[in-house]
Amino acid sequence: MKLAIIGATGMVGTVLLKVLEERNFPINQLLPVASQRSLGRELVYKGKMYKIASMNEAISAKPDIAIFSAGGETSKEWAPKFAEVGTTVIDNSSAWRMDVTKKLVVPEINASCLTKEDKIIANPNCSTIQMVMALAPLHKKYKMKRVVVSTYQSVSGSGVHAVKQMENEQQGIKGTMAYHYPIHRNVIPHCDIFEANGYTKEEMKLAREPQKILDDRTFSVSATAVRVPTSAGHSESVNVEFLNDFDLSEVRSLLHNSPGITIQDNPDTNTYPMPIYSFGKDDVFVGRLRRDETQPNTLNMWIVSDNLRKGAATNAVQIAEYLLEKNLVKH
């Protein structure tokens, strides 16, 4: 198994290597790729040193799988070149997610759609992944009509420069600004760029991606995405209206029995999901389950997940594991 990691020294790339090691993913040859300024540097994986390779060197090695975490423009330019040599690409950027010729995959939900012909596979947006993980089993049972979601997204979702901005502000240090405004002791209702309709790109990802993952356009999603001063872990307040009525105890049971979900829902003991619980974990945490008393068939829930793990790295590794298990890569 030859595995290339594109963007190996970035925030997601670093977590990818950690997840691969934790899950003991079978690798005979690791090809870490990073930007030009990182060429020749070395990184450690499982106690062994690996030299950072160039993109062309990695393509020449014809890896079985390449996991991309280096931004949309890099993916658009280079993913097809890897695919041309027979490599299966798993892409963490937004480049291919809404491309009608590419699959958008959360393994617990729709990995079965993958075939050997899928040479570029899209990893969904981090906020989308945690939301659909909780919604998928409920949609199957009660049929969603409308979802309203407000996100509380950590600065790590914006990359290392945003994390540095918050750390600088916490220490009273003036530095480079990743955001238009301070994030320390602040909340910014602006994730990604604004589109013509007044929604941000992040909000439209949350609106469009769940329909593609669930292969169902009969429900709609309205989103407001907000950046909050936490270092890791995204949180979401989700209000979902179903066509059919539900029983709360059955909702808890469905979620409890869904792979990759942990229920934290006991008001009597102040038990509910928070980013400090999700950090470094792969599960999606769900709690504050309660009826919306203003209209029928409507549920409120609170969803938290580590955006760098299940929201990015872990989901990509799970796709790679599925490809191996089902013999869908040239290896």
Active-site positions read 126, 234
The answer to whether 80 and 55 have CB atoms below 8 angstroms apart is: no
Containing 290, the helix (H) or strand (E) segment is strand 284-291
Phi (first) and psi of residue 188, to 5 degrees:
-115, 115
Phi (first) and psi of residue 84, to 5 degrees:
-60, -30
- Spatial CA neighbour of 242 closest among 310, 306, 295, 178: 295
Please tell me the distance from the alpha carbon of residue 284 to that of residue 306, in angstroms, as a whole number.
8
DSSP 17: H
- Spatial CA neighbour of 132 closest among 271, 236, 245, 251: 236
Please tell me the distance from the alpha carbon of residue 258 to that of residue 234, in angstroms, as a whole number.
20
Please state the length of the chain: 331
Cβ–Cβ contacts within 10 Å for residue 127, how many?
28
Question: Can you list the alpha helix ranges (DSSP code H) found in the chain?
Answer: 11-22, 55-60, 72-84, 107-110, 126-142, 160-170, 201-213, 248-256, 275-278, 314-325
